Amino acid sequence: MNTDNKNSKISNWVVFLGGYTTGLIILFIYRCQYSQVYPTITIPIFWSSALLVLLTTSLAAAPLIRFVILGWDARYHEFVNRLNNEALIAYLQQFWEKRATQDDSVFVGWDKNGKKIDGILVETTEDKVNNSMEKIFKDIYTEQYGRRAFYVPIVLLITIIFILTVLSILLYLDVKLNLHIAVLDTNARVAIASIAGAYMYVVSDTIQSVRQRSLNASTIYWYVLRMLLAIPIGFALTYFSLIPLEDRAFLAFALGALPLDEIIKLLRHFSREKLNPSKENKEEEKSDQLIKLEGVTTRISSLLIAEGVDSIEQIITVDPVLLSIRTGLPFKFILHLGSQAIVRRYLGETVEKLMPLGLADARSIAALVDDLDNTKKESEEQAKIIKSRATAVLNAATSLVKPENSNYTSECLEFNFRQIANGNYTKFIQGKLLTLSKNNAQL
C-alpha cells in the first residue's frame, strides 16, 4: 500500500511538472517569435518569471497532491474505524439497503444466516459478512467521493493559476518597463492586487481544508471560479466606489481575499433588503433552527445549509457519511447532531428542559430505557438499584416536561422514550442491527 501511494505521488508530480514545462515552452516560443515586440524582456527576466510561476503553481498544487495521495485514505479510515462490524451493517441497512443487496457478487447476507438464492437459504460466517460489508462500503464511498473526482478540478485550478500568474507578470512589466503590452486597458495595480488576494485565499483555504481532511472536489471548483472572477470582481467593486485611486489596489486585494460565498451572501443580503425585507427575516428565522442543537455555531449552521440541510428534521434523513464528507465536519459530530435531532422529532422544544438530566440525545435515552428493562447482566440486587434510579430519572423528566393542568404522566414520556430507543436511526447510532421489512428501512 505504501509503495502504491509513493508511486502514485511521484506520478502526480511528474504530470504536474510535465504540464508546467509544456506551458513554459509555449511561453518561450511565443516570446522568441515576438522578440521584436518585447525587446526588454530579456532571458534573465524570462527565467526569473518562470521561477515565480513555478513557485506559485507548486504552492497551490502541493497540498492538493498530498491530499489525493494521503488525505483521502485518512478520511476513508476515519469512517471505517467509526463504522465497524454491526455499526457498519446498521449504516448500510439504514441508508443503502437496496444498493447493498443488489450487489450479488459481494453481498452474502446481513448476518451469519446468509441470504436466499433461488429460495434456498445459504449460510455464511461473521467474517465473510464483515468483509462483504467493508467491500460494499468502500465501493459506495469511492463512487461518491473517489480520487478521480479530484483530477479535473485540480488541473483546472493549476491551469488558471498558471495563466493568471503570467498575466500578473506581464502587467507588472508593462508598468515598470513601459512595454505597452496593453493586456488590459485599465489599472494594472488593481488587477494584480485582485489576483494576489484571490490566490492568497485559495492557497490558505486549501491548506486548511487539507489539514482538516475536509477537502471536496466541489470546493476546488469554487476555487477555480474564485480565481476566474478575481479581476472582474476587483474592478467592479473598486471602480464603482468613492475611495481614492491610491487605495483601490488595497481594496481589490482585500476583496480578492474574501471567499466567493461571502461575496454572494453580501449581494443577496443587499438585494433582499431592498426588494423584500420581510422575506429575509423569515429565511433567517428558519435557518436559526439548527442553532438550537448543542454544538452548532453560525459557521456550522452555514455549512449544513449549504448542503441543503436547513432544518433539524433533515439531519436524520440524510446519509451522515455523505453529509460529513461534504461539510467537512467530523463524522462523530454529525452522529451527535442526528442523536439530538431524533429526540427533537418526538419531543419538540421541550427537549431543552431535559438537558440538565442529560436526556437531550437518543443514545442517553436508549440507555435509560435499557436500565428500565434491566437488559444489563447484573445481579438481582444490582438490577433493582439500576431500575430504581432509572425510574427516578424518568419521574424527574416527567415533572420537567409536563404541561400545566394536563394529564401527561410518566407512562406517556416513557412511551416516547421507547419510540426513540427503538427507532432505526437510534439503533444505527448504537451499532445495532435493524429490523428490516420488505421495503427499505424507515425511521
User: For 310-368, what is the HEC assignment?
Assistant: CCHHHHCCCCHHHHHHHHCCCHHHHHHHHHHHHHHHHHHHHHHHHHHHCCCCHHHHHHH
Residue 117 has phi, psi (to 5 degrees) of -125, 115
Q: Which amino acid is at 57?
A: T
The H or E element that residue 33 is part of is: helix 2-33
Beta bridge mates, 117: 120
Choose between 164 and 114: higher pLDDT.
164
pLDDT value, residue 284: 47
- Grid cell 467537512 is found at 328
Q: Note the pLDDT tens digit of each residue in 340-369.
A: 888 888 888 888 888 888 888 888 888 888
pLDDT value, residue 326: 83
Q: Note the pLDDT tens digit of each residue in 165-213.
A: 888 887 877 766 665 554 444 577 888 888 899 999 999 989 988 888 8
Residue 351 has phi, psi (to 5 degrees) of -60, -25
Q: 112: which DSSP letter? A: T
Report the alpha-carbon distance of residue 218 to residue 152 in Å, rounded: 11
3-state secondary structure of 184: coil
Report the alpha-carbon distance of residue 209 to residue 360 in Å, rounded: 31
pLDDT value, residue 442: 38
Beta bridge mates, 221: none
- Grid cell 481614492 is found at 244
Say if residue 272 is exposed, middle or buried (CB neighbours under 10 Å; 0-12, 13-18, 19+): middle
pLDDT value, residue 199: 92
Choose between 280 and 312: higher pLDDT.
312
The H or E element that residue 121 is part of is: strand 120-122
Highest mean pLDDT among 106-120, 145-159, 418-432: 145-159
pLDDT value, residue 224: 92
Report the alpha-carbon distance of residue 105 to residue 195 in Å, rounded: 51
pLDDT value, residue 12: 61
Decide if 369 contacts 417 (C-beta within 8 A). yes
Decide if 12 contacts 69 (C-beta within 8 A). yes
Report the alpha-carbon distance of residue 108 to residue 122 in Å, rounded: 9
Q: How many CB atoms lie within 10 A of CB 394?
A: 21
Residues contacting residue 205 through CB under 8 Å, at least 6 positions apart:
223, 259
Report the alpha-carbon distance of residue 346 to residue 156 in Å, rounded: 47
pTM for this prediction = 0.71
Report the alpha-carbon distance of residue 141 to residue 412 in Å, rounded: 41
- Grid cell 453529509 is found at 323
Percent of the chain with pLDDT over 90: 2
Angle of helix 230-239 relative to helix 188-211, nearest 10 degrees?
130
CA dihedral 339, 344, 350, 352 (to 10 degrees): 40
